[in-house]
Amino acid sequence: MSSTKAELVNCVRKYRTLDNRLKTLNQETQKLREDRKIIEMDMSDLLKTPEFATISKLEINDDNSYIKIQRPDMWSKPWSLSAKDLKTHLENFWRTNEPKTAEACYAYIVDKRKNDLVSTEFSFSRLGLKED
C-alpha cells in the first residue's frame, strides 16, 4: 500500500472514531435535554401556584448563578420566517393601503407574526455562571 493511501486510511479511521464519539455524546446530550425538560415541567407546575406567582428569578447561592423565569403570555419566542411565509406576508402587504415603504412592510410583517410568537409556556434560562 502506498504511503498516501495508508495516510488516507489512517485519516478515515480517525474520522470514524470521532464520528462515533460525537454520535454517543449527542445521544447523551439529548437524554440530558429530555431530563431537563421534565424538571422544567415540574418547576412550571410549582410556579403556577399563588405562592410563587410573583417570582421571576431563582437564585442558586453556591455558584452565584440564577434561573431567569419567563412566564406564559409575558414573553415572545425568537422567530424566523420561511421563504413561503415571507412571500405570503409580502403578497398580503402589497394588497393593503399601507404606504409601500420598507418600514411599513417590516411593521406589517412583525404585527402579523406578533400574536403567533407569544409563548404560552414557561421558559427558564440559567444566567450569571462563574467562570472556572
pLDDT digits (tens, 9 = 90+) for 94-124: 999 989 999 999 999 999 888 888 899 999 9
Model pLDDT, residue 62: 87
Specify if 73 maps to a domain.
Answer: no
Specify if 14 maps to a domain.
Answer: yes
pTM, 2 dp: 0.70
* Range of weakest confidence among 66-70, 74-78, 118-122: 74-78
pLDDT more than 70, % of the chain: 98
Give me the domain span that covers residue 38. Answer: 1-53
Specify if 122 maps to a domain.
Answer: no
**Domain total in the chain:** 1
**91, 93, 99, 100 alpha-carbon torsion, rounded to 10°:** -30
